[in-house]
Amino acid sequence: MFKHMKEDIQTIHYKDPAARNTLEVLLAYPGLWAVWGHRISHFLWHHHCKLLARWLSTVTRFLTGIEIHPGAKIGRRFFIDHGMGVVIGETTEIGNDCTLYHGVTLGGTSLNEGKRHPTLGNNVIIGAGAKILGPITLGDNAKVGSNSVVTKPIPENTTAVGIPARIVKQNTLSTEIASKLFTAYGVDAVTPDPEATAINLLLDHIQSLDQSLKNICKELAAQDIHICTKVPKLDDQELENLEAFTQNQAPKDSTQ
């Protein structure tokens, strides 16, 4: 038990550069309190003290803002950063070395008894505000971006973002290396934005259609057929701002 507690403290030092010393971790990290409280309530839950387990879980939620059902199964070195608003359902299963940020929900979508909450593999990272719903599985080293809504399984070594969540990145590193890397909030600077990608594809398609239309009008004009009307030109500044948006840059001020 004390070995696991030491691991929990070491995990916070590794994953949060704001943690200056062990005393600060013990006094100022409600995520740690929630995990330790859950270990006690989980023990009580499986030793015929379900009411006491639920009461302790409720007290822990009052103190930390983190709700973990005592029936949830949680592995070693589990880290909840910031923590407020985290909800972990009864039949949730979480592997080792997983990280959750504030506002994450591991929820169920069924009123039936039995398995109805997510299963997380090892080294899974779920960004702030993400919702993982239903009895789905997130594979080892999977990452979910902030505010995403996941309702389908996520394979191992992949990153998913969006509503509904879509896989946007395949981790090409070996599992052994990937398990040693930590990416805060589950995404990094090179993770593609699915909205920007879609806009870029649409812009390319529009440009292709525009060129095709010009070619058609040119051929018709050669046959003395003049039915093409002049298409209004797009504002260059607006195009630059749109391009800047798709590349995650600040748009220019058109009033300057």
Q: What is the 3-state secondary structure (H, E, C) of 167-235?
A: EEEECCCCHHHHCCCCCHHHCCCCCCCHHHHHHHHHHHHHHHHHHHHHHHHHHHHHCCCCCCCCCCCCC
- pLDDT above 80 (res 45): yes
Amino acid 232: pLDDT: 67
Mean pLDDT of 51-71: 96
Composition of the chain by helix, strand, coil, percent to 5: 40, 15, 45
* Pick from 112-116, 133-137, 211-215: least confident: 211-215
Roughly how many angstroms between the first and final C-alpha of the chain, as a whole number?
63
* Pick from 13-17, 26-30, 50-54, 174-178: least confident: 174-178
Q: Which stretch, 107-111, 126-130, 238-242, has highest mean pLDDT?
A: 126-130
Write down the pTM of the prediction: 0.70
CA distance 136 to 120: 9
Instruction: Specify whether the CB–CB gap between 70 and 89 falls below 8 A.
Output: no
Instruction: Name the percent of the chain lying above pLDDT 90.
Output: 53
- pLDDT above 50 (res 197): yes
Amino acid 119: pLDDT: 96
- pLDDT above 80 (res 253): no
Neighbours of 7 (CB within 10 A): 14
